[in-house]
Amino acid sequence: MIKLLVDMFKNKDIRGRIFFTLAIFFVYRLGTNITAPMVDSTRLIGQFADDSILGMINLLGGGALQEFSIFSMGIGPYITASIIVQLLAMDVIPALTEMTKSGAQGKMKLDRITRYFALVLALVQGFTLTYAFHINYGILSNPGPATYMYVTVVITAGTMFLLWLADRISSFGIGNGISMIIFAGIVSDIPFRFSQAFQTLVDTSSSAAIFGGVLNFSLFILMYVAIIILVIFMSTAVRKIPIQYTSSSVRKSNQEITFLPLKINSASVIPVIFASAIMTAPVTVLSFFNQGEFFQTLSTILNVSQPIGLSIYIALIVFFTFFYTNLQVDPEKISDNLSKSGTYIPGIRPGNETKEYVGKVLNRITVLGAIFLSFIAALPYVIPMVTNLPNSVSVGGTGIIIVVGVAMETVKDLQGRLTQKQYRGFVSR
């Protein structure tokens, strides 16, 4: 890793890309602290918890929603639009399905549709947030239709500007721009969480209390590191299915065998986001308009800090893990691709038998992926049940999965660029 860092900064092009990405991060963090005009953000301090859908938006946006800044929605509308378009492109709308099969031009058209859809969602979400936040917290200094529309347009423009910044990172920086913006928002909140954890765990009333508090804080850090290692392991874990070319008549050695890799966690963090939205969205919406008995009952049932709500939450994560994995990985397409490329799985007949075998293996490894996601997602709520650590500083959750995933993809991108430069230098000689 140290050698990689040294090589990166020795390379002029990669060094420039790193500094460019850091400059974009600075602009992003600056924007998250600029409150939208005609808004009093002080009324939002401490108004929503981390276990709500608003808390998740606030986490992914690096605290921008709590400030109700010009970047308060982050790139959430684009992520939502992207997921919806991907689902519709899976044999739901034929026109979108054709675009996915039309190469680079089809992907460009699909991305353009996604951005237009994201703009519409941003306008709707921006107006809903502005109206609901003012009704509940009185954030607007001069409420009225014109003010609602003005604030909506400003924060929608902020979201689209963030998309432009993400495109700049993808073109002139390092990594995927969208992922890097989300990464920056989550990472910027980590120092505050560690500071809050230190203040919670370390009692300065006496020397013995300080020693015990420092010990507890050290265990907190070790647990955090252990969770990161587990996430890295599960993110890279694959089930290798051996495949062989039909033209190969000689048995290959173990080093030469080709494998079809299936990721243990093909669904990534999407099931957790879906489950969190279903658990918290109904309560969040009803809290804006209804505070009756039904609201109180629903809030109790769907409270993930309680055993019943946590059980429902885990069940939803398991369901969406299987659902999204089967959307992402199609055994029938894998079987067709193997047949077209002249390869087969030893001992398994091509065609329907291969499809059934791949589907069976996929379902088995998805069980491990679902258990992993459930464990990581439930950890922030289980720990406060058995310790005095509050939800706001507890370990686990979607943030770690996203940060680790983006970091690993960025390192691979940097290694690829370094390798590319080395090959170019070798050829030029």
What is the Rg, in whole angstroms, of the alpha carbon atoms belonging to the chain?
Answer: 24
Please identify which residue in the block is written with the tokens 């974009």. 24
| Terminal-to-terminal C-alpha distance of the chain | 27
Digit-coded pLDDT (tens) for 190-248: 887 788 778 877 877 777 778 888 888 888 888 888 888 888 888 888 898 888 877 65
* 31 or 327, greater pLDDT: 31
The residue count of the chain comes to 429
Q: How far is C-alpha 144 from the geometric centre of its chain's CA atoms?
A: 36
CA distance 366 to 262: 10
143-171 average pLDDT score: 92
CA distance 381 to 371: 16
What pLDDT shows up at residue 339?
A: 85
Amino acid (1-letter code) at residue 22: L
Domains and CATH numbers, the chain: 1-188 (1.10.3370.10)
* 178 or 294, greater pLDDT: 178
Confidence of residue 388 (pLDDT cuts 50, 70, 90): low
User: Which of 38, 281, 67, 275 is CA-nearest to residue 188?
Assistant: 67
Angstrom CA distances, 185 to 54, 67, 197, stand at 15, 13, 19
User: Which of 148, 167, 157, 191 is CA-nearest to residue 34?
Assistant: 157
Q: DSSP string of 300-326?
A: HHT-TTSHHHHHHHHHHHHHHHHHHHH
Cβ contacts of 228 within 8 Å, gap of 6 or more: 400, 404
286-302 average pLDDT score: 70
